[in-house]
Amino acid sequence: MTTGRAFVYGDDIDTDQLAPGQYMAAPIETLAAHCLEAVDPAFASTVGPGDVIVAGRNFGMGSSREQAAQALKALGVAGIVARSFAGIFHRNAINVGLPVFTADVGGPIAAGDAVKLDVAGACLVNETRGGTIDLDPLPAFLLELINDGGLVPHLEKRFAKTRADARVQKESRV
Partner 1 sequence: MPMTLAEKIIARASGRSAVSPGEIVTARVDLAMIHDSGGPRRVEPILKRLGVGLFDRSKVVLISDHFVPGDDEAGREILDLTRRWAAEKQVAFYDGVGICHVVLPERGHLKPGMFVVGGDSHSPTGGAFGAYMFGVGATEMAGVLATGEIWIRVPETILIEWRGRLGDGIAAKDIMLALCGRLGMDGGRYQAVQYTGEAIESLGMQERMTLSNMAAELGGQTGLIAPDATTAAYIREAGGEPGDISDWQGDADAAIAEHHVLDAAALQPQVAAPHSPANAADVDAYPDTPVDVAYIGACTGAKYVDLERAARILRGRKVASGVQLLVAPASRRDQERAAADGIMAVFEEAGAKVLTNACGICAGYGNARLGEDITCISSTARNFKGRMGAASSRVYLASPFTVAASAVAGRIADPRPMLAEGGPA
Q: Which stretches of the chain bind partner 1, using CB under 8 A?
A: 12, 14-17, 20-22, 24-26, 37-38, 57-58, 61-66, 69, 84, 86-88, 90-92, 95-96, 139, 141, 150-152, 155-156, 159
In terms of phi and psi (left: phi > 0; alpha: psi -120 to 50; beta: otherwise), the region of 117 is beta
Of residues 102 and 124, the one with the C-beta less far from partner 1 = 102
Q: Which is nearer to partner 1, 125 or 142 (CB)?
A: 142
Pick the closest to residue 80 from 115, 107, 46, 45 (CA basis).
115
What number of residues does the chain have? 174
CB 73 within 8 A of CB 97: yes
Question: Judged by CB, which is closer to partner 1: 100, or 115?
Answer: 100
CB of 156 to partner 1, least distance (A): 6
Residue closer to partner 1 by CB (options 54, 115) is 54
Smallest distance from the beta carbon of 130 to partner 1, in angstroms? 32
Nearest distance in Å: CB 173, partner 1: 23
DSSP annotation string for 141-163:
HHHHHHHHTSHHHHHHHHHHHHH
Q: What does DSSP say about strands 79-82 and 114-118: parallel, antiparallel, or unpaired?
A: unpaired
Of residues 46 and 159, the one with the C-beta less far from partner 1: 159
Query: At its nearest, how many Å lie between partner 1 and the CB of residue 171?
Result: 20
| Residue 149: count of CB within 10 angstroms of its CB | 13
